[in-house]
Structure 1
Amino acid sequence: MVHTSFRAVRPVEGGPLGLISALREALGPDGTLVLPSGSGNDDEPFDPRTTPVRDDLGIVPELFWRQPGVLRGLHHFDGFAAVGPRAAEIVNAPLKLPPSAPGSPISVVHDLDGQVLLLGVGHDSNTMLHLAELMGGAPYRVPHHYTVLQDGKPIRIDYLENDHCCEGFSKMDAWLQAAGLQSEGRVGHAQARLARAQDLVRIAVKHLATDPLVFLHPVETGCEECGVARASVRG
C-alpha cells in the first residue's frame, strides 16, 4: 500500500505514470500494488468508473485507478484501487463502518502481511493507523456521511468514524525507529518510509492500550479536529 506525494518525489522520468511503473516493477509480477482511491464528495453517489479521487491524494492515485488492469473498490470511503494477484481480494472486501474496520480493504492488506510505503509523506497520511485505532480501542467517533443511489434517488447514510487531524500519527516514526521496524531512505527527492502493516498496527495498539487518546493533540493546542474527537468521548 502506497501513500505518495509526486511533488515531493519529482522529477521522475515518465512523470507520475513513470512512478507507477517503477513501483510495479519493484514489486514484480507476484506483488500487488494498492493506492488510495477515495472521493472527497460525500454528498454525491460514488461511481468507480468516473468519480475522481479527492484532491489531497494527488495525481498518482488519480492516474493509477485509470490504468488498464487496475481494479477500483465500489465504495468511496473504502477508497482503494489495486493491481496484481491479490487486487480483487483487497478492493472487493465488503462495506464496513467505520471504513477502516476489520474486514475492510485496508484490513485485508494487514491480514495478508502487506507493507506500507510512505513516499514523500509522513505517517499523518498512513490510513493503516485508523485500523490500529479500531483494534486498539480508541474511543472517539466523529459524525460522517456518504451518499448512495437507491431506486434512482440519492440517499444519505450517516455513520461515526474514528477521525481527527491525524498529525499525532507522526509519533509512529520514533516508535518504529526504536524497534528497528521502519526502513528509511531517499526516492527521488522524497523521504521514504517502509514498514510492515502488522508491525505498524501492533506498535500503535500497544501505545493505545496505555493511552487511548495518544494520537490526539492535547487540549491546550486548540486543534479543532482533535477537539471534536475528544468531545465525542466526553459525550
Structure 2
Amino acid sequence: MTNHPADAAERMPHTRESLAADLAALGVRPGSTLLVHASLKPVGFVAGGPHAMVLALRDALGPDGTLVVPTHTPDNSDPAEWQNPPVPPGWWSVIRENMPGFDPAVTPSRWMGAIAEVVRTWPGAQRSDHPQVSFAALGRLAQEVVYGQPRAAMLGPDSPLGKIYGLDGDVLLLGVGHDSNTSLHLAEYRRPAPPAARLGAAVQTADGGREWVWWDDVDLDEGDFELLGADFDATGATRTGRVGGALSRLMSQRAAVDFAERWMTDNRD
C-alpha cells in the first residue's frame, strides 16, 4: 500500500520546537505562571522524551515564566486509609514507624508522571516541603510559589495553588482530564464547614531523624471533578487543542476555581 504524505507526517516524531509551537497555539502565555498536569503517553513519540517536553514548556513560557508541577507523595499517608490496594491492619503500625520522613530534596513523587519528575530533579528547581502534596517549580517565581506550604489546609489559600491563584496563573491539562485538576480542590476550602479528615505522614525532624505526625484538614473529594470540568468547559472558558497527539486543555486557574466554588454550592450536599 502506498503511504500518503499526510500519513507519514502524522508518524513523524514530535520535537521540542514542534511542541513549543503547539503550546503557543493553545495559548500558553509567555511570562505566566503555569501549573501542568501531564501524561506523556498521549503525546506520542517525542524526540528527547520528557526532557524535551519540559524544554518545550519552558520555551513557551519564556525566560520570565514559571513552570509548576505536582510532586505529590500520596503513599506517605495513613495506611489505615489505603484502598488501592488496602493493607492488613497488622501492617499499619510498622508502616507508620518505618516510612522514611519526607525530604523535598530526594523523596520522589509518586504517580505524577515523568514530566513532573524531570521538573523535580531539574537543577535549580524549588520544591515545597509538604509530606503528601508538594509542588516543584522552575522559573522566575518558583520560590514564591512553593515557599511556606502549610501542613494543614494543604491545598488551601496559602498553598502553592493559592499562590498561583494570586498570580493569576493558568492550568494546563496535557493529555489528562479534569480528574487530575488539583486546582479544583482550592474551591473545597471555600465551602462553609467543609467535611474534615484526620491525615498522617512521616516527616523529617530537625536533627535529621523522622517522626509520624497527624493533622486535621478538609476531606478532599475529586469524585465529581470530571462532571464539574465538563460544565466548566461548556462555558467556553477552556482552550482545547493538541499538544503533539495529546488532547489538552488550558484555562485560567482563577476562572476554574471560581466556577468550581459556585458549582459545588449548587451540586454538592
Match of 1:227 in 2: none
What whole-Å deviation, never above 9, does each CA across 1:29-63 have from its counterpart, x for those lacking one? 11100001122342321111211111x11111112
How far, CA to CA, are the matches of 2:200 and 2:72 in structure 1?
A: 14
- The structural deviation recorded for 1:163 is 4.2
Question: In percent, how many aligned pairs have the same letter?
Answer: 39
- The structural deviation recorded for 1:152 is 4.5
- 1:207 counterpart SS class: helix
TM-align CA RMSD:
1.8
In structure 2, give the amino acid aligned to 1:136.
Answer: R
Structure 1 residue runs of 4 or more that deviate by more than 6 Å after TM superposition: none
Query: Aligned pair in 2 of structure 1 residues 138, 169: CA closer, same or farther (>3 Å)?
Result: farther
In structure 1, give the amino acid aligned to 2:197.
Answer: V
In structure 2, give the amino acid aligned to 1:109.
Answer: I
- 1:167 counterpart SS class: coil
Deviates more, 1:36-45 or 1:184-193: 36-45
Alignment of 1:149-188 (within 5 A): 149-150=204-205, 151-163=207-219, 166-188=222-244
Q: Point out where structure 1 has 5 or more consecutive residues left out of the alignment.
A: 214-235
Q: Does 1:140 align with 2:195?
A: yes
- The structural deviation recorded for 1:187 is 1.1
Deviates more, 1:133-142 or 1:82-91: 133-142
Q: Does 1:7 align with 2:41?
A: yes
Q: Does 1:204 align with 2:238?
A: no
How far, CA to CA, are the matches of 2:45 and 2:192 in structure 1?
A: 41
Alignment of 1:98-113 (within 5 A): 98-113=153-168
In structure 1, give the amino acid aligned to 2:268.
Answer: P
How far, CA to CA, are the matches of 1:34 and 1:138 in structure 2?
A: 30
What whole-Å deviation, never above 9, does each CA across 1:72-122 have from its counterpart, x for those lacking one? 112232411101111010111342413101111111011110000000111
Normalised to the residue count of structure 2, the TM-score between the two structures is: 0.73
* Contact 2:126–2:143, Cα closer than 8 Å, also in 1: yes
How far, CA to CA, are the matches of 1:124 and 1:193 in structure 2?
A: 12
Match of 1:195 among 248, 251, 257: 251
Deviates more, 1:174-183 or 1:120-129: 174-183
Normalised to the residue count of structure 1, the TM-score between the two structures is: 0.83
Match of 1:33 in 2: 67
What whole-Å deviation, never above 9, does each CA across 1:187-207 have from its counterpart, x for those lacking one? 112110111110011101111
What whole-Å deviation, never above 9, does each CA across 1:173-198 have from its counterpart, x for those lacking one? 33222321111111112110111110
- The structural deviation recorded for 1:165 is 5.8
How far, CA to CA, are the matches of 1:8 and 1:99 in structure 2?
A: 30
* Contact 1:96–1:103, Cα closer than 8 Å, also in 2: no
In structure 2, give the amino acid aligned to 1:140.
Answer: P
How far, CA to CA, are the matches of 2:178 and 2:108 in structure 1?
A: 24
Radius of gyration: which is bigger? 2
Aligned length: 212
Deviates more, 1:109-118 or 1:9-18: 9-18
Q: Point out where structure 2 has 5 or more consecutive residues left out of the alignment.
A: 1-34, 77-98
